[in-house]
Structure 1
Amino acid sequence: MKSRRHVIVVGAGIIGASVAWHLAEAGARVTVLDAQEPGGIATRVSWAWINASFGNPEPYFRLRRHAMQEWHRLAAAVPGVGLARTGSLFWGRPPAELEAFAAEHGAWGYGVRSVSRAEAAAIEPHLVSPPEMAVHVAEEGVVEPLVAAQAILAGAQHLGATVIAHRRVRSLICAGNRVTGVDTDSGLLQADEVVVAGGVGSSRILATADVSLPMRTSPGLVVATAPHPPTLNGLLITPTMELRQTTEGRFLAVGEIEDGQAEGRVDESASELFAAVKGMVDTGSTLAPGTHAVAYRSIPRDGFPAVGRTAGLLGLYAAVTHSGITLAPAIGQFAAEELLTGQRNPLLAPYGMGRFAAQDQSST
């Protein structure tokens, strides 16, 4: 799949980083542009759960499971990615739903099993009140998202890619039915292909070429404590929060928050979430608060990835999704293959850009 096609990747979060690395590894000439520091916006505050768990129709499960496997290949090829197979303990749904999830995904070949209160306590000995019933998936894991994204970008640079920070893309450049480059706040850049992987900003960029990508944003409150000695073994998905401990020892909790809450209420919610962490895990009296932020997740309207070309417009490719941490290796791999060979992987079949127009037509 060797090629010297010049591809501009707009966005240096985890998806853009993976696309860039796979393209550079295949021999393409790659330029990555980001309006801010490389590492992305949503990526920096991601909880970074690598999984194929819960609520997935089977085609989406297959894509996510493939991505989980690709993480191991990518981590072996790129120094510093820091993939950790920690396992997860999940009791964020009623017991009947958890049992149904375990049965369904288990039948699909996922390593999920139901565990009792005693087993949950053995998996996570520092839980104050282990759940009566949970599901455990040993093969799930995590990366530190900013560290991983920057390591992948560094790997792409080692392969010859150029990464340019603080270069905002104003618009796509079109000539007839082809995108030929981008207009940035520092001038025009030409390319054979442009990949838009700008997360929440992707809709704005695509709209400059009259391409519609309907998006919705889902805010989440992210609370990080001060560093604490190792206490948790893996990831916890509970009825009130998602919780893990970072490689620095910080407890990282994600809770729901209403869109548009006033700043004062955000601070109050962060204090409540920190208190909930202290109530869930036995940390003694030494756990101290750290920082908090509201993260806006970039989600295509129907909740599934938007990856591929748009009808009638050459030279343009979109790679936008929620669950970017899980899906990044697969999307990077498949996007590079499609851009350089024209071959689209069957696992991407349901997730092309054309489905949104079809959805709009069916709703009228």
Structure 2
Amino acid sequence: MSSAKEVVVIGAGIIGASIARHLTTAGARVTVVSESGAGGVATPNSFAWINASWGNPEVYFRLRARAMAEWKRLANELPGLPLAWCGGLCWDLPADKLETYAAEHSSWGYGIRRVDRAGAAGIEPNLAELPDFAVHVAEEGVAEPVAATKALLADAEQRGARIVSSTVMGLVQTGGRTTGVDTAHGLLAADEVVIAAGVGSPEIAATAGIRLPIEIPPGLIVYSRPYKKLLNGLVLAERLHMRQTAQGRIIAGSDFGGADPGMDAAATARELFAALQAMLRGGDGLELDFHTVGYRPTPIDGFPIIGRAEGMDGLYIAVTHSGITLAPAVGLFAAREILDGERDPLLAPYGLGRFAQ
């Protein structure tokens, strides 16, 4: 590893912030460039669930489980990092599929506990609607996304990183190698460039002739005004996913990615908030404060794109929908690969080369 390696990270969301922080910790000279400021575009609108839950094959479960462990490492290194290991109560699947999920993930080492109606009431006593059968994972948690991103960037800055607010015009190439970033405020030269710009990544990559097959589905999330404590952890119900923030806001979407905003996002938000109120004892005292519509950078096969761009030296790409869960592992693994050339085996399935360019 060269401790003098110059790296430009494009993007100041949770993924870019983690990569920048891990690179500076390893001794690189890092510049983070972003037009949108700390948090980027997708991160502030995230449900921010940290998990290795249902719906994924074992190889992806292993990456997510490792990322959960890396969050705990980061919390030890950065006291005050806004995390809460509050646990998740889930019944967002038909009973047979929920049982299959519980059996499968238990065999993989995930800490799933089956609960009945009384058990669910003991975990979340303020639920007005209770399932006959649910599962609870005590090790799941949440991050306060913007505050966590700012904490990572602040630590990177303290270690010498520069944060530049500017529009990225494109990548600079010399002799088949990426050698810098052209910004509205001038050229940033680099030994290596990292594209971690979320929904903006495809446009930036295209300036080097690289196609990133990414979709950007919208997700609407509603936010209550701060309120007394009604929820102990994450609730992943059939029609609604919700949690309560450290500030007392209850946030919810039709699932963790948010709701389809439809033709009238404000009307959708009001309907969603009414469903939230109906699900909680004492929910009639909640007031809708605002809603957000976030756009999720989602590779078309649903899995991350993490690694070097084949045929283009000096360029690394890190784009994924599960940014909150994966951020600390992506940051650690990307820094090692960029500086030492060591690719972690957990990243093996997630190179850009799996897509035909």
Range into which the TM-score falls when normalised by the shorter chain: over 0.9
Find the residue that maps to 2:210 and give its secondary structure. Answer: coil
- TM-score, normalization by structure 1: 0.95
Aligned-residue RMSD, C-alpha: 1.1
What aligned pairs does 1:256-295 form with structure 2 within 5 A after superposition?
257-258=259-260, 261-262=262-263, 265-283=264-282, 285-295=284-294
1:36 aligned onto 2:42: no
Contact 1:307 1:320 in 2 (8 A): yes
Matched residue, 1:83: 83
Matched residue, 1:334: 333
Matched residue, 1:325: 324
Q: 2-side partners of 1:170 and 1:303: how far apart?
A: 28
| Count of matched residue positions in the alignment of Structure 1 and Structure 2 | 354
Find the residue that maps to 1:113 and give its secondary structure. Answer: strand
Q: Per-residue displacement from partner, 1:7-53 (whole Å, max 9, x unpaired)?
A: 00000000000000000000000000111121111100100000000
- Greater alpha carbon shift after TM alignment, 336-345 vs 74-83: 74-83
AA aligned opposite 2:207:
T
1:248 aligned onto 2:250: no
Q: 2-side partners of 1:285 and 1:346: how far apart?
A: 50
1:236 aligned onto 2:235: yes
Contact 1:79 1:155 in 2 (8 A): no
Find the residue that maps to 1:285 and give its secondary structure. Answer: helix
Find the residue that maps to 2:296 and give its secondary structure. Answer: strand
Q: 1-side partners of 2:244 and 2:259: how far apart?
A: 21
Matched residue, 2:109: 109
Q: 1:230 to 1:257 in 2, by over 3 A?
A: closer
Matched residue, 2:19: 19
Q: 2-side partners of 1:284 and 1:41: how far apart?
A: 30
Q: 1-side partners of 2:260 and 2:239: how far apart?
A: 14
AA aligned opposite 1:328:
A
AA aligned opposite 1:247:
A
Matched residue, 2:158: 158
The runs of 5 or more residues in structure 2 that have no matched partner are none
Contact 2:20 2:153 in 1 (8 A): yes
AA aligned opposite 2:226:
P
Find the residue that maps to 1:314 and give its secondary structure. Answer: coil
Q: 1:284 to 1:104 in 2, by over 3 A?
A: closer
Matched residue, 1:350: 349
Q: 1-side partners of 2:22 and 2:314: how far apart?
A: 18
Contact 2:221 2:259 in 1 (8 A): no
Question: How many percent identity over aligned positions?
Answer: 55
Q: 2-side partners of 1:176 and 1:254: how far apart?
A: 48
AA aligned opposite 2:201:
S
Deviation at 1:293, TM superposition (A): 1.5
Matched residue, 1:214: 213
Q: Per-residue displacement from partner, 1:242-262 (whole Å, max 9, x unpaired)?
A: 100000100000125447x33
AA aligned opposite 1:50:
I
Find the residue that maps to 1:64 and give its secondary structure. Answer: helix
Q: Per-residue displacement from partner, 1:232-276 (whole Å, max 9, x unpaired)?
A: 0000111112100000100000125447x33xx211110011100
Find the residue that maps to 2:52 and give its secondary structure. Answer: coil
The runs of 5 or more residues in structure 1 that have no matched partner are none
Find the residue that maps to 2:227 and give its secondary structure. Answer: coil
- TM-score, normalization by structure 2: 0.97
Deviation at 1:284, TM superposition (A): 5.0
Contact 1:179 1:316 in 2 (8 A): yes
Deviation at 1:80, TM superposition (A): 3.1
Contact 1:236 1:243 in 2 (8 A): yes
Q: Per-residue displacement from partner, 1:277-310 (whole Å, max 9, x unpaired)?
A: 1100112532111100111111011100000011
What aligned pairs does 1:174-185 form with structure 2 within 5 A after superposition?
174-185=173-184
Q: 1:143 to 1:172 in 2, by over 3 A?
A: same
Matched residue, 2:95: 95
Q: 1:51 to 1:230 in 2, by over 3 A?
A: same
Contact 2:220 2:260 in 1 (8 A): no
Q: 2-side partners of 1:37 and 1:347: how far apart?
A: 30
Contact 2:168 2:184 in 1 (8 A): yes
Q: 2-side partners of 1:38 and 1:271: how far apart?
A: 29
Q: Per-residue displacement from partner, 1:161-212 (whole Å, max 9, x unpaired)?
A: 11112x1111000012100001101111100000000000000000100011
Q: 1-side partners of 2:80 and 2:317: how far apart?
A: 27
